[in-house]
């Protein structure tokens, strides 16, 4: 009976659920992925041989979108708290807030990309443009994946009309991913927008 319970809980020898451990391993590999993209960006940051460079960045708009994403991290913390303490309403409400804030961030990114394109910075403009769009675009894709995952959790919570036994774990795993996306954006915002071109 104890062995069956042990299998159901999916614990590793370290006492951590193996699904949560797998998310940590995945996030570690994502650090390497974003590290390589960031390195490429830094190599080509000052190499705008033709067309616009960092001088077209709209700092005010990006600051607002950064604030929105940081606030989504707070709502995600509250969603995890609600799931872990059986507060269904809090969990659902904060998941919805996190999803909406993530969509607002993506809306800002689409607006920014369209603006940059209108003044001549595209993927094919120069090496800086290609590295910039790859770096920030892949981050946007990660935010989109996070929004889809959190939306599936929210829809599942409404269908079950409560919190299932595994729900706190899944919300916690979603929280790990979401906080990773937020931390990556803080690094990208600092390096791409705050540090001037050399």
**Model pLDDT for residues 116-170, shown as the tens digit of each residue:** 989 888 888 888 888 899 999 999 999 999 999 999 999 988 886 666 677 889 9
| pLDDT grade for 63, boundaries at 50, 70 and 90 | very high
pLDDT of res. 136: 94
Average pLDDT, the chain: 86
**What's the CA gap between 163 and 112, in Å, rounded?**
38
Residue 8 has pLDDT above 60, yes or no: no
3-class DSSP string for the chain:
CHHHHHHHHCECCCCCEHHHHHHHHHHHHHHHHHHHHHHHHHHHCCCCCCCCCHHHCCHHHHHHHHHHHHHHHHHHHHHHHHHHCCCHHHHHHHHHHHHHHHHHHHHHHHHHHHHHHHCCCCCCCCHHHHHHHHHHHHHHHHHHHHHHHHHHHHHHHHHHCCCCCCHHHHHHHHHHHHHHHHHHHHHHHHHHHHCCCC
Stretch 36-44: mean pLDDT: 88
pLDDT of res. 198: 44
Question: Residue 25: beta bridge partners?
Answer: none
Least Cα distance to 178 among 153, 145, 152, 154 occurs for 145
Q: Looking at per-residue confidence, does 193 or 178 come out higher?
A: 178
Residue 105 has pLDDT above 70, yes or no: yes
Structural domains in the chain, CATH included, are: 71-198 (1.20.120.80)
pLDDT of res. 10: 60
Residue 3 has pLDDT above 50, yes or no: no
Chain centroid to Cα 62, Å, comes to: 15
Residue 49 has pLDDT above 80, yes or no: no
Question: Residue 17: beta bridge partners?
Answer: 11
| pLDDT grade for 2, boundaries at 50, 70 and 90 | very low
Per residue in 61-91, is it b (16+ CB within 10 Å) or e — as a string?
ebeebbebbebbbebbebbbbbbbeebbeeb
Q: Taking the CA of residue 168 as centre, how many other CA atoms within 13 Å lie in the half-sphere pointing to its CB?
A: 10
């Amino acid at each position: 009976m104890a062995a069956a319970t042990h299998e159901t809980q999916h614990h590793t020898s370290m006492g951590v659920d193996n699904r949560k451990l797998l998310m940590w391993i995945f996030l570690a590999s994502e650090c390497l992925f974003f590290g390589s993209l960031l390195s490429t960006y830094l190599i080509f940051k000052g190499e705008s041989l033709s067309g616009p460079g960092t001088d077209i960045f709209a700092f005010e708009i990006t600051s607002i979108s950064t604030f929105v994403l940081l606030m989504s991290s707070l709502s995600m913390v509250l969603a995890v708290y609600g799931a872990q303490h059986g507060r269904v309403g809090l969990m659902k409400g904060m998941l919805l807030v996190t999803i909406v804030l993530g969509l607002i961030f993506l809306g800002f990114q689409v607006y920014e990309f369209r603006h940059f394109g209108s003044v001549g910075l595209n993927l094919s403009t120069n090496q800086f443009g290609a590295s910039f769009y790859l770096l920030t675009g892949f981050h946007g894709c990660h935010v989109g994946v996070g929004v889809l995952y959190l939306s599936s959790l929210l829809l599942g919570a409404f269908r079950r009309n409560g919190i299932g036994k595994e729900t706190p774990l899944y919300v916690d795993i979603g929280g790990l991913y979401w906080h990773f996306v937020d931390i990556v954006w803080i690094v990208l915002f600092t390096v791409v927008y705050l540090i001037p071109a050399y």
